[in-house]
Amino acid sequence: MRKITLNISTSPHVIIGLSTETIMKHVVYALLPAAAFGVYAFGWNALLVMMTTSVGAILTEHFLCKWSDKPSTVGDYSALLAGLLLGMTLPPIFPLWMAFLGSVITIALGKFIFGGLGNNVFNPALVGRAFLQAAFPVAITTWLQPFLPERFYSVSSSIYAWPFMRPTVDAVSGATPLSAFKFDNISTDAYDMAMGICSGSVGETSTLFIILGGIYLAWRKMMNWRIPVSIILTVFAFSAVFYMIDGKVYPSPFFTIFSGGLMLGAIFMATDMVSYPITSAGVWLYGAIIGLLTVVIRLWGGLPEGVMYAILLGNAISPHIDNLVRPRVYGTTKKLKVS
């Protein structure tokens, strides 16, 4: 009889066929349409910003792994994802050296310092952005008008600003719908915002493509759809209350959900698996808290946008949310410890 070599392995012998690497890869794919729209709307500026942050994040991850004598983990796509996400939250004419610095912070302080993939407390891209917001308040609120005719012929000079030099703004700057409303009380049409006909960060303007990307991920079961649903419903409901109280002072709920980085944050940032609660009930609560905080910051805060801080705060309390809504173990009356 012929010789047979058998492998032995532990059950289960079938698996669902998803891997962490695949998930990360598909999240990147899902972001590409919105990123491509950003390039279409803002020209080469946007492409340069996103490429800088992506390359910066990958390089940082690679060298940090090398310096700590670990095998490089850039192959799992999580560094690329964090870098791309950071780039998509920055203005299109953001100086590249600042963007690069932001991507270094994203990986080093957002992820690596906690122990790498799976251990970060906060969404790494938002840690990077929070740093940039604190360090360069002017640059990060200097916006570019969309669809400028020269956007594919020239690149804004502020992009090439030397490190630690004040960038010279030559581009036609435009206010985002949120800042226009906050500082000048000008409302932008919700349809324009959904289609991306407005100023804003590189990847946040095309709400339509962001939602399509989210639907794709939810369909592939690579994203927890409960989080964006919970955030968007809360934001809508909470802002509707104030709109009904005084429609002149407060924005309409449609404006609120389609403006700024809400969709990008709800669909791609708050759903960073590592930093949201692990229980299904906790996830609903997490989304609701982020939604409430977003509206509070937007309506009464000094900044026009509140999604970033709302998500970071949500990340911070997610272990506590897990402890609050604990599932009951089958056949017991005991509430399971979660962390």
Partner 1 sequence: MDFLSLHTNSFKNGIHPPENKEDTRGLPIRQFPFATELIIPMTQHIGAPAEITVREGQEVSRGQVIAKAAGYVSVPIHSPISGMVEKIGLVPTISGSKAQGVTIKAFPSSGQEVAEGYCIDYKTATADEILQAIQDAGIVGLGGAAFPTHVKLKVPEGKVCDYLIINGIECEPYLTTDHRVMLEQGDDIYMGIRYLMKVTGAKEVIIGIEGNKQDAADHLTKMKPDDIPVSVKVVPVKYPQGSEKMLITAVLGKEVPSGGLPIDVNIVTVNIATTAEMGRLLPHGRGIQERVITISGPAVKKKGNYLIPIGTPLRFVLDHVGIVDDIAEIYMGGPMMGPAVADLDISITKGTSGILVFGSKDVVHTDNIYPCIKCGACVDACPISLNPSKLGILAKFESYDRMVSDFNLMDCFECGSCSYVCPSHIPLVQYFRLSKSRYKRKQALNQH
Catalog residues that contact partner 1 under the rule CB under 8 A: 1, 4, 6-23, 76, 116-119, 224, 273-280, 283, 327-332, 334, 336-339
Q: End-to-end CA distance of the chain, in Å? A: 55
Half-sphere exposure of 306 (CA within 13 A, CB side): 22
Q: In angstroms, rounded to a whole number, what is the distance separating the alpha carbons of residues 257 and 211? A: 12
Least separation in angstroms between CB 63 and partner 1: 19
For residue 187, the tally of other CB atoms under 10 A from its CB is: 13
- Shorter beta-carbon distance to partner 1: residue 2 or 248: 2
Which structure tokens are listed for 52? 């800088």
Give just the sign of the alpha carbon dihedral 9, 26, 85, 121.
Answer: negative
Distance CA 45, CA 43 (A): 5
In the complex, the smallest distance separating the C-beta of residue 9 from partner 1, rounded to whole angstroms, is: 5
Nearer to partner 1 (CB atom), residue 287 or residue 306? 287
62 token code pair: 């690679």
Minimum separation from the CB atom of position 175 to partner 1 (A): 38
CB of 288 to partner 1, least distance (A): 17
Separation of alpha carbons 136 and 301, rounded Å: 19
Pick the closer one to partner 1 by CB: 14 or 138.
Answer: 14
Q: Which residue lies nearer to partner 1 by CB, 62 or 326?
A: 326
CB of 149 to partner 1, least distance (A): 44
Nearer to partner 1, 29 or 254 (CB): 29
Beta carbons of 114 and 142 less than 8 angstroms apart? no
Q: Evaluate whether 43 touches 151 at the Cβ level (below 8 Å).
A: yes
> 194 or 289, CB closer to partner 1?
289
Nearer to partner 1, 305 or 322 (CB): 322
Alpha-carbon gap, residue 330 to 115, rounded angstroms: 33
Least distance CB 13 / partner 1 (angstroms): 4
How does DSSP classify residue 116? S
Instruction: Report the distance separating Cα 146 and Cα 172, nearest Å.
Output: 10
Q: How many C-beta atoms surround the C-beta of residue 326 within 10 A?
A: 16
Residue 90 CB, nearest distance to partner 1 (Å)?
A: 25
Residue 144 main-chain phi, psi, to 5 deg = -115, 140
The distance of closest approach from Cβ of residue 332 to partner 1 in the complex, given in angstroms and rounded to an integer, is 4
Give 135 or 316: the residue with its C-beta nearer to partner 1. 316
Q: In Å, how far are 65, 69, 86, 168, 219 from 216, measured between CA atoms?
A: 32, 37, 21, 40, 5
Count CB atoms within 10 A of the CB of residue 92.
31
Q: How far is the CB of 98 from partner 1 (least distance, A)?
A: 29
Report CA-CA distances (Å) from 103 to 63, 213, 308. 13, 23, 16
Which residue, 28 or 190, has its beta carbon nearer to partner 1?
A: 28
